[in-house]
Amino acid sequence: MKLHTLLLCCSLLFTGAALAKEAAPMAADIEVEKRMVAISEELRCLVCQNESLSGSHAELAQDLRREIRTLIAQGKTDQEILDFMVARYGDFVRYRPPMKPTTWLLWGGPFLLMAGGIAALIVFLRRRAKEDHAPVLSEDERRRAAALLDQSNS
Amino acid sequence: MKRFLIPLAVFFGLVVFLAIGLTLNPRDVPSPLKDKAAPAFSVPQLAAADKSFSPADMKGKVWLFNVWASWCVSCRQEHPLLVALSKEGKVPVVGLNYKDQGADAKNWLARFGDPYVLSAVDADGRVGIDYGVYGVPETYVIDKVGTIRMKHTGPITQESLQKQILPLVAELSK
C-alpha cells in the first residue's frame, strides 16, 4: 500500500515536470535585465492598469519589455527610454507623472486636503478650549448648592 | 443646524465628483499622438505579401486607420459598422492586422466582410507600439498631410461614428 502511494506520488511528480513549460532563456546580460526591470517598474501596464510593466503578464507588457531591452541594447539612456514610452502612451504610462500645469492638482491635491484638515482641527480645538471652562456659579446658585449639600449631610 | 450644513455640503461635493468619475471611461487615455505626424512604417499587405504599405501612400486623403485582429472579440462588435461605412464610401479605411496569423486574418475577413482598402500586417506588434496601441480595436483619423487628428480606443459605436469620427472627417476633407 505504501509503495503504491509512493509510486503514485512519483508518477504525479514526473507528469508535472513533463507538462511544465521550459523556462524562458535567461537574458544574455544580467545588467540589461536589471535596468529593464528598474525602468519597467516605473511604467504602467496599459492593459491591466494597476500593474506595473515589470509585473504584468499581458502580451503588450511582454512586447514593451522586449522593446526596452532593444532600446538598452541600442545604448539609450533610462531617460530616453522613458521619453520613448511617454511619446507613445502619454504621461499616464508613468507611475510618477511629471509636474505640469495639468498635474498640479494631482500632486498638490493631497497637501491641500491635509491643510484643510489641519485648519479644521485647529478651529475645532480652539472652540472646544473656550467651551471647556468649568461653569462659574452665580452667588445665588452657590447658595443653593450649599443648601443642598447641607441637607444631604444632616 | 448650521453645524450640519458644512458636512452636508462636503458630502454633496463628494457625490458630484464621484458621479462624474463613474461616467468616465478609465480606458480612454488621452493619446499624446494627437496632432502629431502619424509614425512612418513600411510593412507587407495582408492580401499581397509582396506589396508593402506605408502611411505616406495615403498622402492627400483623409483616412481611418483601424487596428484589428481575428483574436479580438470587440473587433467583431465594431466590424459591421466599418463594413457599412466602406459601402457608403465616405472615407477610406486602412486596416492594421495586429499580431495575428495571416490565415486566421484572411478567414476572418472572408467570414465577416472586408471593409478595408487594404490591411497592413503588423506581425510582431512593432507598428502598434509606435502608434501607442494598447487595446485593440483602435481607430485613428489621419488628415491629408498625415497628421493624427483623433484616436479612438475600443470598438467604434454608432454614436462615436456619427458624433465624432464622421464630422471630423467631413471637416478635414474640406
How many residues appear in chain A?
154
Chain A residues inside the 8 Å CB shell of B135 = 46-47
Torsion angles phi and psi, residue B151, rounded to 5: -130, 130
Per-residue three-class SS string for A52-66: ECCCCCCHHHHHHHH
User: What is the rounded distance in angstroms from the CA atom of residue B134 to the CA atom of residue A45?
Assistant: 9
Give yes or no for residue A14 having a pLDDT over 70: no
Contact B132 A90 (CB under 8 A): yes
Are B25 and B115 within 8 A, CB to CB?
no
Q: Give the residue from chain B lying closest to A62, CA to CA.
A: B125
Give yes or no for residue A44 having a pLDDT over 90: no
Chain B residues inside the 8 Å CB shell of A82 = none
Tally C-beta pairs within 8 A across A and B.
Answer: 37
Residues 97-136 of B with CB under 8 A from A: 99, 124-125, 128-135
Q: CB B14: neighbour CB atoms within 10 A? A: 10
Are B159 and B84 within 8 A, CB to CB?
no
Q: What is the DSSP letter of A43?
A: B
Give yes or no for residue A25 having a pLDDT over 60: no
User: What is the rounded distance in angstroms from the CA atom of residue B174 to the CA atom of residue A104?
Assistant: 39
Task: Determine the straight-line distance between the first and last CA of chain B, rounded to whole angstroms.
Answer: 61
- Of A49, A88, A89, nearest to B26 by CB-CB distance is A49
Give yes or no for residue A17 having a pLDDT over 60: no
User: What is the rounded distance in angstroms from the CA atom of residue A18 to the CA atom of residue A16?
Assistant: 5
Torsional sign, CA B113, B118, B123, B126:
negative
Confirm or reject contact between A51 and chain B (CB < 8 A).
no
User: What is the rounded distance in angstroms from the CA atom of residue B64 to the CA atom of residue B116?
Assistant: 10
- Of A47, A63, A88, nearest to B132 by CB-CB distance is A88
Cell numbers standing for residue B29: 487615455
Are B55 and B38 within 8 A, CB to CB?
yes
What does DSSP say about strands B43-44 and B138-142: parallel, antiparallel, or unpaired? unpaired
- What's the ipTM? 0.77
**pTM given for the model:** 0.72
Evaluate whether the domain defined by A27-98 bears CATH number 3.10.20.740.
Answer: no
User: Across residues A4-23, what is the average pLDDT?
Assistant: 53
User: Across residues A74-92, what is the average pLDDT?
Assistant: 89
Full DSSP string of B1-12: -HHHHHHHHHHH
Chain B residues inside the 8 Å CB shell of A46 = 29, 134-135
**CATH superfamily of the B29-173 domain:** Glutaredoxin (3.40.30.10)
- What is the domain partition of chain A in residue ranges? 27-98, 102-153
Average pLDDT over all residues of chain A: 81
Residues 6+ apart with CB under 8 A from B92: B58, B61, B63, B64, B117
Contact A67 B129 (CB under 8 A): yes
Distance from CA of B68 to the nearest CA of A (A): 15
Preceding peptide of A25 cis, ω within 30°: no
Confirm or reject contact between A90 and chain B (CB < 8 A).
yes
Tell me what pLDDT residue A18 has. 47
User: Across residues A62-91, what is the average pLDDT?
Assistant: 89
Contact B132 A64 (CB under 8 A): no
Chain A residues inside the 8 Å CB shell of B133 = 60
Q: Give the residue from chain A lying closest to B131, CA to CA.
A: A88
Tell me what pLDDT residue B30 has. 75
Contact B99 A59 (CB under 8 A): yes
The tens-digit pLDDT sequence of chain B (174 residues) is 677 888 899 999 999 999 998 888 777 777 888 888 889 999 999 988 899 999 999 989 999 999 999 999 999 999 999 999 999 888 999 999 999 998 999 999 999 999 999 999 999 889 999 999 988 899 999 999 999 999 998 899 999 999 999 999 999 988
- Of A59, A67, A92, nearest to B29 by CB-CB distance is A92
